[in-house]
Amino acid sequence: MKLEKLLSQRGLVLHSPSAEEIRERAKQVRKIRLFYGETYDAAGNTIDSMKYYFFVANLSQSLREEGFETEPTILVADTAACRNVSSDLQNKYMGLGTERSGFIEHINNVYNTKLNILRMNEYIDSPEFQKELQEVMRICESDLELMAKVEKTVPESKIEIERSRGFMYSFDEITTIVDLDVKVGPPREDLYDNIARDIARKMGRKELMSLFLTPTFPVGMNWAYFFVNEGIEYHGITAYKGGSKRLQDNRILVGRSDPEYIREKINASFISNNPEVPNPVLDIGIICEMARKRLENDDSEITLANEFYQGKITPEQLKEKVGRDVENYVLLRFV
């Protein structure tokens, strides 16, 4: 797919560098580093993570078709995931990291995504990373404004805990991304990305480019849920953690969710014709379209959002299509 079309797909891309900015970076480096990183929880592998895997793969493919060399990487941040659990759960969570890596490898095999899979434990203790980490920490700790930004990466309820730990979760994340070219992620990661750009400027290095995909929302919720949770349309819930906000019963967990149960949740979901209102059914439909197109080697753009908001598909038709597609193009590929 032409890069311009990939970056402008409605219902999928929320914010992106221009196609020309990405091309210019690709000309400056031997391989352009495309990246998406995530942690995980014990709830299972979410369909929402697949949106990011597919997009990184599609971005890499678009650039390769123009003659650029790419390095499309998915980071399974196992060490970061273990920072937030008790010591007796460390082994379990490292095992979950192995499972998540296996999930991505299966996606590589089924959908021909050609993604590099990297685990945080593979590099975090290396002398090179630790040297870079110390430099990032030195720059931040000598700048009150930067440290204030680091603190803002932590939820208010955990600020004292992270302060006592030296904000190591945040510093590991910032050090990991500071030298990347294009980082794909949810909009909530803008805080980390901005700090990485500030540090890169101080180091005299090229700055990270951020590409944000649309937020993730739970299925099976009525209008009242979105009304009560004011502001959810901006950040949604955590795409890669099935238990985010304790909503695992309202998520599609690949390899665990029953297709009939998912159909029930899809049919129970509130849908609005207003594109400013969260639409989890449409979001899942777009992920299914990404899956279908990779299975069928179809390089055309996704038009589902335009079709829905232009009234070519009714809410009932959308629900029926998505319930069918999520089974055929995703769930049945993991049995």
Residue 209 has pLDDT above 90, yes or no: yes
Give SS3 for 143. coil
Kind and range of the H or E element at 79? Answer: helix 78-83
Dihedral pair phi/psi, residue 211, rounded to 5°: -130, 115
Q: What is the DSSP string of 255-297?
A: TTS-HHHHHHHHHHS---S-TTS--HHHHHHHHHHHHHHHHTT
DSSP-assigned letter for residue 144: H
Give the domain ranges of the chain.
Answer: 3-213, 223-334
Please give the average per-residue pLDDT across 165-180, as a whole number.
Answer: 96
Residues in contact with 131: Cβ distance below 8 Å, sequence separation at least 6, in sequence order: none
- The pLDDT score that the predictor gives to residue 84 is 82
CATH number of 3-213: 3.40.50.620
What pLDDT is recorded for position 158?
86
What pLDDT digit, counting tens, does each position of 134-145 carry? 999 999 999 999
Q: Is the pLDDT of residue 190 over 90?
A: yes
Burial group, residue 210, by CB count within 10 angstroms (0-12, 13-18, 19+): buried
Question: With bands split at pLDDT 50, 70 and 90, how would you rate the model's confidence at 157?
Answer: confident
Q: What is the pTM for the complete model shown?
A: 0.96
The size of the chain, in residues, is 335
